[in-house]
A = this chain, B = another copy of it.
Amino acid sequence: MHPDYEPITGRPAEIALAARRLIAERGFEGLRTRDIAARVGINVATLHYHVPSKEALIELVARSLRDDFVAQNVTRPRKHLPALDQLRLEFLDFRETLVETPEIFIVMTELTERARRDEKVKAVVGPMLAFAHGELARILALGSEEGTFRADLDPEAGALMIFGTMVATQRSPRRGPELFDRACAELLRSVQAQPPESGLAT
């Protein structure tokens, strides 16, 4: 698709992974090339042989996240499912990442922040976020059409709401699977159309 769309492999992949972990632990401010090299088990000069500068390194990290993102999205032919199921699968994907590689979110957040001042990072992170957001909006619009979701749902705003809630859940000091599940439940209640018999009970 894109001209530079070669997935990262070999040493650069190892470097990107080590960098991601260190960013998750210490943030960008605490990121040191020496530490990355040490964690990979190579000399700093070798690190520079593969990644010419720190700027390039951060780009590499961004591209590495995109690789993971793409890998996840590529293997999911679910567009034929009902909107509600699709949304639930999105939640499951998020949950899985949350449990298995929580570092991804931290790094993603840092990168998003950094994208504000770094055009190269923006060029990688921006489309990724736009895609994720677009997928959610698509699902919401589909659900409204199906009648499963509220008719007055604003897909764009709803996507923002879902995305923001996921991130906030992840950031909360009380973060964890239970909180995540409560947040998902709340989101589902928020977007779904009220059952017709709602007038009788309550």
Report whether A193 and B186 are in contact in the complex, using a CB–CB cutoff of 8 Å: no
Report whether B202 and A171 are in contact in the complex, using a CB–CB cutoff of 8 Å: no
Report whether B198 and A199 are in contact in the complex, using a CB–CB cutoff of 8 Å: yes
Report whether B199 and A183 are in contact in the complex, using a CB–CB cutoff of 8 Å: no
Q: Does A10 reach chain B (CB closer than 8 Å)?
A: no
Q: Does A114 reach chain B (CB closer than 8 Å)?
A: yes
Q: Does A26 reach chain B (CB closer than 8 Å)?
A: yes
Q: Does A6 reach chain B (CB closer than 8 Å)?
A: no
CB 8 Å contact bits of A34-56 with B (1 = contact, 0 = none): 00000000000000000000000
Report whether B183 and A157 are in contact in the complex, using a CB–CB cutoff of 8 Å: yes
Chain B contacts of A4 at CB under 8 A?
Answer: none
**Contacts A110-B113, A189-B152; A169 near B160 (Cβ below 8 A):** yes
Taking the closest CB of chain B, its distance from the CB of A131, in whole angstroms, is 13
Report whether B158 and A186 are in contact in the complex, using a CB–CB cutoff of 8 Å: yes
Report whether A167 and B169 are in contact in the complex, using a CB–CB cutoff of 8 Å: no
Q: Does A73 reach chain B (CB closer than 8 Å)?
A: no
Chain B contacts of A173 at CB under 8 A?
Answer: 126, 129-130
CB 8 Å contact bits of A145-160 with B (1 = contact, 0 = none): 0000011111011101
**Contacts A28-B27, A165-B164; A154 near B198 (Cβ below 8 A):** no
CB 8 Å contact bits of A17-40 with B (1 = contact, 0 = none): 000000001111110000000000
- Give CA–CA (A140, B126) in the complex, Å: 33
What are 11 A-B residue pairs whose CB atoms fall within 8 Å in the complex?
A: A26-B117, A27-B28, A29-B29, A113-B113, A129-B173, A150-B189, A156-B182, A157-B182, A157-B186, A158-B186, A196-B199
